[in-house]
């Protein structure tokens, strides 16, 4: 199968379904379920809850929101911004992903929005089956061909950040979008997070016999702002997703792409033990620096990557059987750590 054709197909059905691995991104051993294409017209509207789920900013009493934008190297990355409070946070985040919109003054150097200039979010409804139906204005179709998949990734990963959304369906001016107009990516099924983001393939993996794992590596702009970039890497087929994730973090990023490693290549994994809601990783002392503390960047990357791929809510990190008590930045890791609500707080 040609690489370009696979990337095009993965945008719809999701990496798992395409690769027929029999295991999901969450590492549960179940196949990733992607719904059949939604019914159009009146029948589809009838299935949309009359009181569509609204994600209310007041519930968390915070104006921090995550948007997905493009960095200077072309990666799609999340940024946490302080945005105006609104009734529908999901709709607001999309509005702040439009080129030339109000987000421009909030983005760090090197970052840019991905949704085409002038795009308006006509409506955003979230159904009872956790499907976000987004209706864009016609300007959404005016983009550069090379950004097509990046736009799909940004919209999908942005909306599936919310616990009430698992799938995304796109419309333009009230009509279901059947394919993207430039590179002709088909949209005959709702998009899901399993489509991956910033996709790449390990050298020893084959497209038809692979498991996707999403890894968080570091990048830095020209003003020394460090941030995490999620990369979905296809690796040799495995049912042990957690081990694959940690091993790939140790292997590090593709050096040709300019991302920075988070773990020392000499680091060893002694054990990975899952329990209810928690996964514990025991590393060798190579995880520690000269000060006998672990890098905060490394610990955060492990937490982000494992919670992204395994479905476990918390991560406990040990070294030689002992709980890591603090990082080099003196953050406390004595207790199991949950995934942060917001990634990459922006610094202007």
The per-residue pLDDT for 232 is: 98
Q: In 140-159, which positions are buried (b, 16+ CB within 10 angstroms) versus exposed (e)?
A: beebeeebbbbbbbbbbbbb
- Of 213 and 61, the structure prediction assigns the larger pLDDT to 213
Question: Concatenated DSSP letters for 68-86?
Answer: EEE-TTS-EEEEEEE----
Q: With cut-offs at 50, 70 and 90, classify the pLDDT of residue 109.
A: very high
Q: Give the angle subtended at the CA of 308 by the CAs of 169 and 227, to the nearest 5°.
A: 95
Half-sphere exposure of 139 (CA within 13 A, CB side): 14
Collapsing DSSP states into helix, strand and coil, what is residue 218?
Answer: strand
Q: Which range is most confident: 12-21, 109-118, 294-303?
A: 109-118
The per-residue pLDDT for 166 is: 97
The domain limits of the chain are 53-193, 200-338
Collapsing DSSP states into helix, strand and coil, what is residue 115?
Answer: strand
Provide, rounded to the nearest whole percent, the portion of the chain with pLDDT above 90. Answer: 68
Question: Concatenated DSSP letters for 238-295?
Answer: -S-HHHHHHHHHHH---GGGTPBPSS-TT--EEEEEEETTEEEEEE-GGGB-TTS-B-
CA distance linking residue 69 with residue 89, whole number of Å:
17
CB proximity list for 140: less than 8 A, separation 6 or greater: 115, 116, 119, 172
Enclosing H/E stretch for 210: strand 210-220
Residue-averaged pLDDT of the chain:
83
Question: What are the pLDDT digits (tens) for 274-297?
Answer: 998 899 999 999 998 888 888 899
The region of weakest confidence among 15-19, 60-64, 77-81, 126-130 is: 15-19
Mean pLDDT of the 154-160 span = 97
CA distance linking residue 345 with residue 200, whole number of Å:
26
The per-residue pLDDT for 63 is: 80
- Of 17 and 83, the structure prediction assigns the larger pLDDT to 83
The per-residue pLDDT for 176 is: 96
pLDDT at 33 over 80: no
Mean pLDDT of the 48-57 span = 32
Q: With cut-offs at 50, 70 and 90, classify the pLDDT of residue 348.
A: low
Mean pLDDT of the 23-37 span = 32
Mean pLDDT of the 205-227 span = 92
The per-residue pLDDT for 318 is: 94
pLDDT at 27 over 90: no
The region of weakest confidence among 8-22, 169-183, 218-232, 239-253 is: 8-22
Do residues 315 and 337 touch, judged by C-beta distance below 8 A?
Answer: yes
Q: Minimal CA–CA distance to 16: which of 3, 4, 28? A: 28
pLDDT at 310 over 70: yes
Do residues 34 and 189 touch, judged by C-beta distance below 8 A?
Answer: yes
Question: Concatenated DSSP letters for 315-337?
Answer: EEEEETTEE--BBTT--B-SS-E
The per-residue pLDDT for 187 is: 95
pTM value is: 0.83
């Amino acid at each position: 199968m040609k690489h370009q054709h696979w990337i095009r197909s993965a945008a719809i059905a999701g990496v798992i379904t395409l690769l027929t691995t029999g295991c999901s991104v969450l590492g549960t051993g179940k196949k990733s379920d992607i719904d059949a294409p939604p019914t159009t017209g009146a029948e589809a509207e009838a299935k949309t809850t009359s009181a569509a789920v609204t994600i209310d900013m007041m519930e968390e009493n915070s104006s921090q929101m995550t948007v997905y934008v493009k960095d200077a190297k072309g990666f799609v990355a999340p940024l946490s911004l302080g945005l105006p409070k609104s009734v529908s946070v999901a709709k607001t985040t999309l509005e702040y992903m439009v080129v030339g919109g109000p987000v421009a003054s909030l983005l760090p150097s090197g970052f840019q929005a991905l949704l085409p200039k002038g795009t308006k979010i006509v409506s955003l409804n979230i159904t009872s089956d956790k499907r976000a139906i987004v209706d864009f204005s016609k300007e959404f179709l005016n983009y550069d061909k090379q950004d097509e998949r990046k736009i799909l990734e940004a919209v999908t990963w942005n909306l599936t950040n919310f616990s009430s959304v698992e799938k995304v369906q796109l419309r333009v001016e009230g009509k279901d979008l059947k394919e993207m107009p430039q590179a002709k990516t088909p949209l005959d099924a709702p998009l899901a997070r399993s489509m991956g983001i910033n996709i790449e393939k390990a050298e020893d993996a084959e497209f038809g016999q692979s498991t996707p794992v999403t890894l968080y590596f570091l990048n830095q702009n020209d003003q020394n702002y460090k941030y995490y970039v999620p990369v979905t890497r296809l690796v040799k087929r495995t049912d042990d997703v957690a081990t694959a994730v940690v091993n790939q973090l140790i292997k590090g990023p593709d050096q040709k792409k300019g991302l920075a490693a988070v773990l020392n290549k000499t680091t060893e994994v002694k054990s990975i033990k899952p329990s209810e809601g928690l996964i514990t990783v025991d590393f060798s002392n190579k995880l520690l620096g000269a000060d006998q503390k672990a890098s905060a960047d490394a610990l955060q990357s492990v937490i982000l990557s494992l919670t992204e791929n395994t479905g476990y809510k918390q991560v406990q990190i040990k070294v030689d059987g002992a709980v890591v008590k603090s990082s080099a930045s003196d953050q406390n890791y004595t207790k199991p750590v949950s995934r942060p609500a917001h990634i990459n707080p922006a610094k202007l």
